[in-house]
């Protein structure tokens, strides 16, 4: 009789040990075709990701791989070793893009376990905290982020043995406290010219709210294709048989990284067209899931705005994605619309339609010479 194998991937709570490092098995060379599919799917308004002459005028080598795509690659690569057995993704923490990634570059990633904690009052599950680093073919970091996932207790039976290592002191120092942006990110902002994007730094004032008009209805085959494009291996997003047994919705759940990207892309039409760099994302969560057929809408509030040169300024934005109800209705209905759901003590303030919320720091072009 032949030996029958059924390998399983991901990890359960007892498989994680603080300090362990997993080198994720995927390695991908980004090409123009992949970038075209991504841009056509999300319609981000920033020409930095679509126009080579514009990107070069800003001081970049060429058009830049969208940071949201880089984040999705890092998230998805890590699923194989970290969250394929997860119940839920809980938080995005301290997301940074220290260098640009370009078409033709090769991306790979590794994750380090920062913490493991059994849930208070429920020993059947717990929280795992990891940091993931994405690097290019030269070993230079292009992505750093932390996240937390809710994981079932126990161990994964049948998981193939894979290498586990620790970070050496030199490597630890190299990938700790990475910069928020490339060093020359401001260099060409005076001479790049404009191509019709309406909102500059001067138009983004502290306290202002933008209710982004357009929504995005998620197609069933579309979200599964995009999950596979970035190598997300969790069957919760594309295996109907698995979901009948394991999904609390009994249906495929749209991968959260895509929900976040559609939310940010909706917002880009108003506040993202003149962004020079995505300085970071933080304090992010998915309060409720999205299914195929749901329509995602976005709204943003300007938290702060600070001029940093005659040509650019840093803007902090709280962006929220909701499903199936236009945010204009929800912003009017909920005084605490932009307050994180986990911070709300009164159920009456909960926004049940909220599917993602996150804080963004972006470097935004000023009108030439700071002219208003």
**DSSP assignment string, 110-155:** EEEEEEEEEPTT-TTEEEEEEEEEEE-TTS-EEEEEEEEEEEESS-
Sole residue written with tokens 């001081």: 59
Q: What values do phi and psi take at 345, rounded to 5?
A: -90, -30
Q: What is the pLDDT of residue 372?
A: 44
**pTM beyond cutoff 0.85:** yes
3-class secondary structure, 217: strand
Tens-digit pLDDT string for the chain (372 aa): 999 988 888 999 999 999 999 999 999 999 999 999 999 999 999 999 999 999 998 889 999 999 999 999 999 999 999 999 988 889 999 999 999 999 999 999 999 999 999 998 899 999 999 999 999 999 999 999 999 999 999 999 988 888 899 998 898 899 998 999 888 776 556 566 667 788 999 999 999 999 999 899 999 999 999 999 999 999 999 999 999 998 888 999 999 999 999 999 999 999 999 999 999 999 999 999 999 999 999 999 999 999 998 889 999 999 999 999 999 999 999 999 999 999 998 988 999 999 999 999 999 999 865 444
Domain ranges for the chain: 7-156+163-174, 196-218+254-372
Q: Which of these, 213, 188, 184, 185, lies nearest to 198 by C-alpha position?
A: 213
> What's domain 7-156+163-174's superfamily in CATH?
Hotdog Thioesterase (3.10.129.10)
CATH of domain 196-218+254-372: 3.10.129.10
Cα distance between residue 16 and residue 155, in whole Å: 9
What is d(CA 229, CA 130) in angstroms, rounded to the nearest whole number? 23
Q: Tell me if domain 7-156+163-174 and domain 196-218+254-372 are identical in fold.
A: yes
pLDDT value for 186:
65
Helices (H), the chain: 32-42, 52-57, 67-78, 169-174, 220-229, 240-246, 256-271, 327-333
């Amino acid at each position: 009789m032949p030996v029958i194998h059924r390998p399983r991937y991901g990890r359960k709570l007892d498989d994680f040990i603080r300090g362990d490092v997993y080198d994720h098995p995927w390695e991908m060379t980004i090409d123009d075709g992949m970038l075209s599919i991504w841009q056509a799917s999300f319609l981000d308004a920033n020409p930095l990701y679509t126009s080579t002459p514009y990107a070069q005028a800003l001081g970049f080598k060429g058009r830049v791989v969208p940071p949201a795509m880089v984040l999705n690659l890092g998230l998805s690569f890590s699923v194989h070793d970290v969250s394929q057995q997860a119940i839920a993704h809980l938080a995005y923490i301290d997301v940074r893009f220290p260098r640009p990634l370009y078409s033709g570059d090769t991306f790979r990633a590794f994750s380090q376990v920062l913490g493991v904690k059994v849930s208070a009052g429920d020993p059947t599950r717990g929280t795992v905290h990891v940091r993931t680093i994405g690097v290019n073919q030269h070993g230079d970091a292009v992505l750093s982020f932390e996240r937390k996932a809710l994981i079932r207790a126990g161990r994964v039976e049948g998981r193939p043995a894979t290498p586990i290592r620790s970070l050496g002191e030199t490597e630890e120092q190299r990938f700790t406290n990475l910069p928020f942006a490339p060093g020359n990110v401001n260099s060409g902002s005076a001479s790049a010219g404009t191509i019709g994007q309406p909102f500059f730094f001067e138009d983004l004032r502290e306290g202002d709210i933008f209710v982004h008009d357009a929504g995005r209805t998620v197609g069933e085959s579309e979200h599964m294709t995009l999950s596979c494009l970035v190598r997300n291996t969790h069957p919760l997003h594309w295996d109907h048989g698995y979901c009948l047994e394991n999904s609390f919705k009994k249906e495929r759940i749209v991968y959260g990284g895509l929900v976040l990207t559609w939310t940010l892309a909706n917002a880009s039409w108003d506040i993202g067209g003149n962004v020079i760099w995505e300085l970071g994302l933080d304090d992010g969560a998915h309060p409720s899931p999205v299914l195929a057929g749901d329509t995602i809408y976005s709204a943003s509030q300007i938290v702060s705005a600070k001029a940093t040169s005659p040509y650019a300024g840093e803007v902090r934005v709280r962006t929220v994605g909701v499903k199936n109800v236009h945010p204009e209705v929800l912003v009017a209905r909920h005084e605490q619309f932009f307050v994180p759901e986990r911070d709300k003590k009164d159920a009456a303030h909960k926004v049940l339609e909220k599917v993602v919320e996150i804080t963004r720091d972006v470097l935004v072009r000023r009108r030439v010479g700071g002219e208003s």
